[in-house]
């Protein structure tokens, strides 16, 4: 099977509080998005990478990612993550059978994590999502933040990326979501919404998504520790 990767880096990162957003924030000598793309650019089996970027920063992203040989193109993101990823999938070559989707703001992803997700996909399921069980107690609250229930955490996982799908399944999921008006927070939720089967595989807890500026200090520490242990 032929694999392609879509790196979703189209958000403006309003919560991050930095011009240019989180994807272009400096991290360990380069940028967040360069760390992310760098993992996929050397991954066995992935020949094509499409990066989805903020429409106002396409040129900046182009300059930043110029040295990565597998980046086929950089496409503008849409109004939602859902629209952005759909645009990225459409930009992959027609020969791509399996799509690996990853958040551009998750720079701590490792090659073994991506490969474990790819290897878990087979013909009996529609997709795979990396994540880990919810270890903390999870509360449901109302609009005023009063607790209305405590969830059974034995059934709860926290989803991350990468997420891996058959390309034909993604096309059906996007079409179904458009017909039904469904907006999902990740691509697995779109596949689930149309009745697809998605398997969770264990990922490391340090595969965080850079959301606020303080997350960069954690990411720097993890990368430093990895360099020290190699």
Yes or no: say if 16 and 22 are a contact pair by the CB < 8 Å rule: yes
Query: What is the C-alpha to C-alpha distance for residues 187 and 230, in angstroms, rounded to an integer?
Result: 34
Query: What is the C-alpha to C-alpha distance for residues 8 and 168, in angstroms, rounded to an integer?
Result: 19
Q: Provide the domain limits for residue 221.
A: 3-229
Q: Characterize the bridge pairing of strands 30-31 and 157-166.
A: unpaired
Q: Which helix (H) or strand (E) holds 34?
A: helix 32-41
Instruction: Tell me the pLDDT tens digit for each residue of 33-86.
Output: 999 999 999 999 999 999 999 999 999 999 999 999 999 999 999 999 999 999
**Phi and psi at residue 222, to the nearest 5°:** -65, -45
Yes or no: say if 51 and 65 are a contact pair by the CB < 8 Å rule: yes
Query: What is the C-alpha to C-alpha distance for residues 22 and 123, in angstroms, rounded to an integer?
Result: 36
Map residue 156 onto helix, strand or coil.
coil
Q: Which residues contact 180 (CB under 8 A, 6 or more apart)?
A: 193
- Which pair of structure tokens corresponds to residue 48? 């094509």
Query: What is the C-alpha to C-alpha distance for residues 28 and 14, in angstroms, rounded to an integer?
Result: 22
Find the DSSP H helices in 109-155: 111-120
Number of domains in the chain: 1
> Where residue 159 sits, what CATH number does that domain have?
3.90.550.10
pTM: 0.94
State the sign of the Cα–Cα–Cα–Cα dihedral 182, 7, 164, 172.
positive
Provide the β-strand partners of residue 85. none
Task: Kindly tell me if the per-residue pLDDT of 20 is higher than 80.
Answer: no
Instruction: Tell me the pLDDT tens digit for each residue of 151-200.
Output: 999 999 999 999 999 999 999 999 999 999 999 999 999 999 999 999 99
Q: Characterize the bridge pairing of strands 127-133 and 98-103.
A: unpaired
């Amino acid at each position: 099977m032929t694999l392609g990767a879509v790196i979703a880096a189209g958000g403006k990162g309003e919560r991050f509080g930095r011009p240019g957003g989180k994807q272009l924030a400096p991290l360990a000598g380069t940028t967040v998005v360069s760390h992310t793309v760098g993992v996929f650019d050397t991954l066995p089996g992935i020949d094509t990478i499409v990066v989805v970027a903020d429409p106002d920063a396409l040129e900046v992203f182009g300059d930043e990612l110029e040295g990565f040989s597998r980046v086929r193109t950089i496409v503008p993101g849409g109004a939602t993550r859902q629209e952005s990823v759909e645009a990225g999938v459409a930009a992959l070559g027609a020969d791509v059978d399996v799509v690996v989707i990853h958040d551009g703001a998750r720079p701590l992803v490792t090659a073994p994590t991506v490969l474990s997700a790819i290897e878990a996909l087979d013909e009996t399921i529609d997709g795979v999502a990396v994540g880990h069980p919810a270890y903390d107690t999870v509360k449901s609250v109302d609009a005023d933040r009063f607790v209305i229930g405590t969830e059974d955490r034995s059934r709860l996982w926290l989803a991350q990326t990468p997420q891996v799908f058959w390309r034909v399944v993604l096309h059906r999921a996007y079409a179904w979501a458009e017909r039904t008006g469904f907006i999902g927070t990740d691509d697995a939720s779109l596949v689930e919404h149309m009745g697809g089967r998605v398997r969770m595989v264990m990922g490391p807890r340090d595969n965080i998504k850079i959301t606020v500026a303080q997350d960069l200090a954690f990411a720097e520490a993890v990368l430093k520790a990895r360099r020290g242990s190699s």
